[in-house]
């Protein structure tokens, strides 16, 4: 995927953190109808779980990208680098 999951996971994690902060400070009764019907504190906990999931995926992908970038390909003869 050439790093598109890394960017998607990062964007969803940032959006999730923003939504969690918003729901934490906005004390109205939250209700979500898609994909399942959630109401009240369940919205906060489900969104929190999803945010932690995407944040973990993003961190692991960024760490692996950085490690791969610093070490280079394992086999230079089969690398995709056109040099």
State residue 32's pLDDT score.
87
What pLDDT score was predicted for residue 27? 76
pLDDT in tens, 3-57: 789 999 999 999 999 999 998 898 788 888 888 899 988 989 999 999 999 999 9
Q: Measured on CA atoms in the order 58, 60, 66, 69, is the torsion positive or negative?
A: negative
Answering whether pTM is above 0.95, one says: no
Predicted local confidence at residue 2, as pLDDT: 66
Contact call for residues 19 and 49 (beta carbons, < 8 A) = no
Domain ranges of the chain: 4-68
What whole-number distance in Å separates Cα of residue 58 and Cα of residue 41?
26
């Amino acid at each position: 995927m050439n790093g598109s999951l890394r960017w998607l996971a990062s964007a969803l994690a940032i959006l999730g953190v923003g939504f969690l902060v918003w729901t934490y400070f906005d004390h109205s009764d939250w209700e979500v109808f898609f994909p399942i019907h959630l109401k009240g504190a369940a919205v906060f906990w489900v969104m929190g779980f999803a945010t932690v999931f995407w944040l973990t995926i993003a961190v692991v992908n960024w760490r692996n990208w950085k490690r791969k970038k610093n070490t280079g390909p394992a086999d230079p003869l089969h690398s995709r680098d056109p040099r």
